[in-house]
Amino acid sequence: MEVLSPKTTRRSTRIRVEIPVSVISLDRMRPFGENCVVLVVSAQGCGFRSSRPLQLETPIMLNGLPGGGSVTARVANCLPLGSDGKYFLIGASLYTHGNVWGIANPPEDWKIAAQSTPAPSPTSASASAEAAPLRVNKKQWPYNLFTEGDGTQLNRNK
């Protein structure tokens, strides 16, 4: 049986590389820190080899990029390399698109990708929530559990 699917198009060209980086998790509930090797890069992300799997959507930072920089990303994919379970290919989606890899003469489509809107960072959602004023309705739970006085006694009459 033949399965027909639409042709997948890449947003930017992938390039095979070997760039040593250190990768750390930015999520304290998912601790991770390891020296890894980036094997493939594009303007939107990369694939790096790790000895441990990473959970999808984990925010990470890649340090030690060419030129001494760093970049933040999120885990988009995690696949075992081989059948022995020794290594994993972690796909990372950059929060800031572009040639962060220091590739000389990058493909033309990398320039277009860098100009497009980058993926939202995990801090932008919380920043917009902090910017909105907090409205408190004192007649709704949990505030309605306390009396109008000092707030230390439960109002059991309601």
pLDDT tens, residue by residue, 70-87: 999 999 999 999 888 899
Whether 130 maps to a domain, the answer reads no
The CATH number covering residue 52 comes to: 2.40.10
Tell me how many domains the chain contains. Answer: 1
Q: So what's the pLDDT on residue 37?
A: 96
Domain that holds residue 34: 15-125
Whether 141 maps to a domain, the answer reads no
Give the 3-state secondary structure of 17-63.
EEEEEEEEECCCCCCCEEEEEEEEECCCEEEEEECCCCCCCCEEEEE
Whether 5 maps to a domain, the answer reads no
Whether 85 maps to a domain, the answer reads yes
The percent helix, strand, coil of the chain (3-state, each to 5) is 15, 35, 55
pLDDT tens, residue by residue, 3-26: 444 445 557 889 999 999 999 999
Contact in structure between 40 and 49 (CB atoms under 8 Å): no
pLDDT tens, residue by residue, 128-146: 444 444 444 445 444 444 4
